[in-house]
Structure 1
Amino acid sequence: MNQQSNNKTREIEVTADDLPLHCPTPAMLLWNSHPRVFLPIEATGEALCPYCGTHYTLKGGAVAGHH
């Protein structure tokens, strides 16, 4: 059975404490998630997950000099 569900765009705001950022995040259900992918959000302050389309925004904007 091939059941499709609606793709709902998600907007998630993260902080510097959430870095390095990866999707799915620890708050997401893992049993139905895609493989973990790390997202480079530090330079631009925004990242888009290539698997699920979740848009992440870094609260406070880009991080200068983050190691």
Structure 2
Amino acid sequence: MADPQTHDRNDLIQPNAENRYEVTKADLPLSCPMPGMYLWNSHPKVYLPIHETGESKCPYCGAEFVLKGFDRNDPEIERLGRRDA
């Protein structure tokens, strides 16, 4: 379960503060807001299919995500990108 007291922490990223985020394989499966972001003032968590094209846009806040080093033929990206991985 996510930490509901994230408003008390100052080591987290402000959600929806940027329009574009560069992410890596370590961030897969990708969700918005991402782990490490404040949760108390954000939208519901949604998983984004960035593993399909290397780019994805959040339907709630419009944040754009780009997968650094994306290779369409990399089976690891496909495996990690799936929520059931």
Task: Classify the TM-score, shorter chain.
Answer: 0.7 to 0.9
Aligned to 1:60: 69
More helix by share: 2
TM-score by length of 2: 0.64
1:19 to 8, 28, 34: 28
Q: Which runs of 4+ in 1 moved over 6 A?
A: none
Runs (5+) with no aligned partner, structure 1 = 1-6
Q: Give the direction of change, closer, same or farther, for the CA distance of 1:15–1:8 in structure 2 (3 Å limit).
A: closer
TM-score by length of 1: 0.80
Given that residues 45 and 57 in structure 1 are in contact (C-alpha distance below 8 angstroms), is that contact kept between their aligned partners in structure 2? Answer: yes
Q: Which amino acid aligns with 1:48?
A: K
Aligned to 1:32: 41
- What's the % identity of the aligned pairs? 54
Cα distance, 1:43 vs structure 2: 1.4
Cα distance, 1:61 vs structure 2: 1.6
Cα distance, 1:9 vs structure 2: 5.4
Cα RMSD of the aligned pairs, angstroms, is: 1.8
What CA distance in whole angstroms lies between the structure 1 residues aligned with 2:51 and 2:33?
Answer: 17
For these two proteins, the number of residue pairs brought into alignment is 61
Runs (5+) with no aligned partner, structure 2 = 1-15, 80-85
